[in-house]
Chains A and B, each alone.
Chain A
């Protein structure tokens, strides 16, 4: 380039870049490459174009995903379905049903003493958010919504326990029913904690695992306490 400029400046008669046409690439150096712009694979577009499918397919697909996650919670194995394809439908359904079942039935009594719907809702969601923030602040590698998803889905055993407790309370509210309820709630509490630990423990730094698991334990303990102390009016 400098030579061309120099020759251009020195010999004003010569046009610029005159010698450039003499430059040629020898033919034994292979020149390769693609000039065409690679088009993004069209298959995701074709698969996820959900505008044309019937509504039933859309709903069934989401319901099946939620159902599959329920199964994964009840039989916790190291599967990535819960983590990878997170969704918050399951936790919402579980939270609302648990909060509804925890209603004493006498909403007009001020001295009812049991948790109101809003209190249960806030405790579950706010508790899950705080635990997620805690695990992220301690250096966890899991994402925010994945952790919310796991914690929400692992409320499923406790919802089952609530259902069983309500049925047992229909039969009677003596000491025997209390012992049955206690055993059921304790078993489901252990199941919830172990299930969520199985999913979340791997993403934590190894020397801080106990620091992350303790708040989860506390969270499910408080929910179990609310279930156990439920008294029907």
Chain B
């Protein structure tokens, strides 16, 4: 056992040999970062890029986790805990709304505007405004469409407000929950660089619904073509914000799963718009003869069901 040999750097692979030589020697094992079990399951081929990205990813998520931890330090049963979700100023809310309506190509809404300060003010009040905008616009548009008919009796249709509220709040809370769960599950299988917290996803979805408020008001115009053009336009704007936000989170995954996730996000967003249009806004009828005929049929149906 030469002293020089002890000082020389020993390769890790020689440990088995060394132990074989001297089984009673004490051994210390040090965990190296590249031995992280997650990377063994990773599909990334390039280990160099993987380590770099991993460092970037852990740095970023560590920083955001630290920041988040510093902010939400109050226990959840105190009022101060919930105040941390409303820690925004007027100009911040307006900036976020602007960012959701005018998507900047290449910029991530979450990283650019939210920056680990997700708020619940925007999602909650945008959803509330959207509920009433859809209900009121639907009522107004139906009023104008059926205005000249002799059998028309105006009703405020207040029931539809509760239906609208249920639909929109369910969309704004359940879809982010499902998406967050899905992303967490994929995160455990594939090392993703970017991961969002639940509140950030709720925030993105809430602000992305803002474009539907002017759209709902413009849906009063009783032209089918105009309405569908508006749907397409709104969907393009807010859909692109969602896509640009969530693409970095799924891009490292299996190609088909990533595309399926993005497609589902856009599809659900479109479904909300089309569903609201179909349910709350009656189809505008262009022909006068068909309007009187359908009005009589409508009253006949109503009397029959009654």
Q: Tell me if A119 and B121 are in contact (CB < 8 A).
A: no
A7 at the interface (CB under 8 A from B): no
B216 at the interface (CB under 8 A from A): no
B266 at the interface (CB under 8 A from A): no
Segment of A10-18, A42-50, A183-191, A224-232 engaged in the interface with chain B: A224-232
A24 partner residues in chain B, CB cutoff 8 A: none
Main SS class of interface, A:
helix
A134 at the interface (CB under 8 A from B): yes
Contact among B86, B136, B139 for A138, CB-based, below 8 A: B86
B89 at the interface (CB under 8 A from A): yes
Q: How far in angstroms is the closest Cβ of chain A from B12?
A: 55
Contact among B121, B129, B156 for A114, CB-based, below 8 A: B156
B88 at the interface (CB under 8 A from A): yes
Question: Contact string, A184-217, partner B, CB cutoff 8 A, digits 1/0?
Answer: 0000000000000000000000011111001100
Q: Tell me if B83 and A113 are in contact (CB < 8 A).
A: no
Q: Tell me if B158 and A208 are in contact (CB < 8 A).
A: no
B5 at the interface (CB under 8 A from A): no
Contact among A112, A119, A134 for B155, CB-based, below 8 A: A112
Categorize the interface residue count of chain A. 20 to 34
CA distance A79 to B155 in the complex (A): 41
Q: Tell me if A113 and B155 are in contact (CB < 8 A).
A: yes
Q: A113-B156, A115-B156 are known contacts. Are A215 and B82 too (CB-CB below 8 A)?
A: no
A114 partner residues in chain B, CB cutoff 8 A: 155-156, 158
B182 at the interface (CB under 8 A from A): no
B89 partner residues in chain A, CB cutoff 8 A: 207-208, 211
A211 partner residues in chain B, CB cutoff 8 A: 88-90, 93, 121
A136 partner residues in chain B, CB cutoff 8 A: 79
Q: Tell me if B154 and A119 are in contact (CB < 8 A).
A: no
Q: A113-B159, A114-B158, A231-B156 are known contacts. Are A208 and B129 too (CB-CB below 8 A)?
A: no
Q: Tell me if A231 and B154 are in contact (CB < 8 A).
A: yes
Interface centre among A119, A214, A218, A229 (most CB of B within 10 A): A229
Q: Tell me if B156 and A218 are in contact (CB < 8 A).
A: no
Q: Tell me if B86 and A137 are in contact (CB < 8 A).
A: yes
Q: How far in angstroms is the closest Cβ of chain B from A152?
A: 20
Q: Tell me if A139 and B155 are in contact (CB < 8 A).
A: no
A222 partner residues in chain B, CB cutoff 8 A: 132
Q: A138-B121, A215-B125 are known contacts. Are A210 and B155 too (CB-CB below 8 A)?
A: no
Q: Tell me if A226 and B88 are in contact (CB < 8 A).
A: no
Q: Tell me if B90 and A210 are in contact (CB < 8 A).
A: yes
CA distance A222 to B129 in the complex (A): 10
B128 at the interface (CB under 8 A from A): yes
Q: A208-B90, A218-B129 are known contacts. Are A115 and B83 too (CB-CB below 8 A)?
A: no
Q: Tell me if B132 and A137 are in contact (CB < 8 A).
A: no
Q: Tell me if B121 and A113 are in contact (CB < 8 A).
A: no
Q: How far in angstroms is the closest Cβ of chain A from B125?
A: 6
CA distance A111 to B85 in the complex (A): 41
Q: How far in angstroms is the closest Cβ of chain B from A178?
A: 11
Question: Contact string, B258-286, partner A, CB cutoff 8 A, digits 1/0?
Answer: 00000000000000000000000000000
Q: A137-B86, A139-B83 are known contacts. Are A214 and B155 too (CB-CB below 8 A)?
A: no
B24 at the interface (CB under 8 A from A): no
Q: How far in angstroms is the closest Cβ of chain A from B103?
A: 24
Q: Tell me if A231 and B155 are in contact (CB < 8 A).
A: yes
Question: Contact string, B120-159, partner A, CB cutoff 8 A, digits 1/0?
Answer: 0100010011001000100100000000000000111111
CA distance A222 to B90 in the complex (A): 23
A231 partner residues in chain B, CB cutoff 8 A: 154-156
Contact among B121, B128, B154, B158 for A218, CB-based, below 8 A: B128
A208 partner residues in chain B, CB cutoff 8 A: 88-90
> Can you name 25 A-B pairs with beta carbons within 8 Å?
A111-B155, A111-B302, A112-B155, A113-B155, A113-B158, A115-B158, A116-B158, A119-B158, A137-B121, A139-B83, A139-B86, A207-B91, A208-B89, A211-B90, A214-B125, A215-B125, A218-B128, A218-B129, A218-B132, A222-B132, A225-B132, A229-B139, A230-B156, A231-B154, A231-B155
Chain B contact residues, CB within 8 Å of chain A: 79, 82-83, 85-86, 88-91, 93, 121, 125, 128-129, 132, 136, 139, 154-159, 302
For the A-B complex with A207-B91, A209-B90, A211-B90 known, give 8 more contacts whose Cβ atoms are closer than 8 Å.
A112-B155, A113-B159, A114-B156, A115-B156, A116-B158, A138-B86, A211-B121, A218-B128
Shortest beta-carbon contacts, A-B, top 8:
A113-B155, A229-B156, A137-B86, A207-B89, A115-B158, A210-B90, A113-B157, A113-B156
